[in-house]
Amino acid sequence: MPDQDGETSRTVVKTHVPAYQKRIWVDHADELGMSQSEFLRTMVQAGRRGFDPGRTVEGRSSESTSETGEMTGELATRIEAVLADSGPLSWDELVTALTDGLEDRLEDTLQTLQEEDRVRYSGRDGGYTLNEGRS
């Protein structure tokens, strides 16, 4: 969100999380078609909404709605584009429209991870698993 002088420059924020948590976040961001930075900004802003004492009944900040764009990021843009092209959609239709191509991307990515010996398929383990010793 711009400051009082309209500055929108960016800065780096660092945090430390367990490796498994980052993998979960990376996977979720990929599923949503978001960068890791956009995903984390969106999740932090969404979490802050629950703790914002200035929040209105509708869940929006009483100070400004300019945060809304930051919170929703690329996913909101994609939703709006799909609805603009298609008109009203049910939940299932919207999910299908937003995840179109995800299976192909997933298959390609899994193939690459297997070729790099980072992931393997194991019937004994019940599906895809990280190769031991990898993080």
In terms of DSSP H, where are the helices of 4-130? 19-32, 36-49, 66-86, 91-99, 102-115
Residue 69 near residue 77 (C-beta atoms within 8 A): no
Helices 91-99 and 66-86 pack at an angle, to 10 degrees, of: 100
pLDDT averaged over 10-residue windows placed end to end, the chain, 135 residues: 62 84 88 84 72 43 44 72 86 85 84 91 88 65
Residue 66 near residue 1 (C-beta atoms within 8 A): yes
> What is the reported pLDDT for 6?
56
> What is the reported pLDDT for 132?
77
Q: What is the CA radius of gyration of the chain?
A: 19
> What is the reported pLDDT for 50?
57
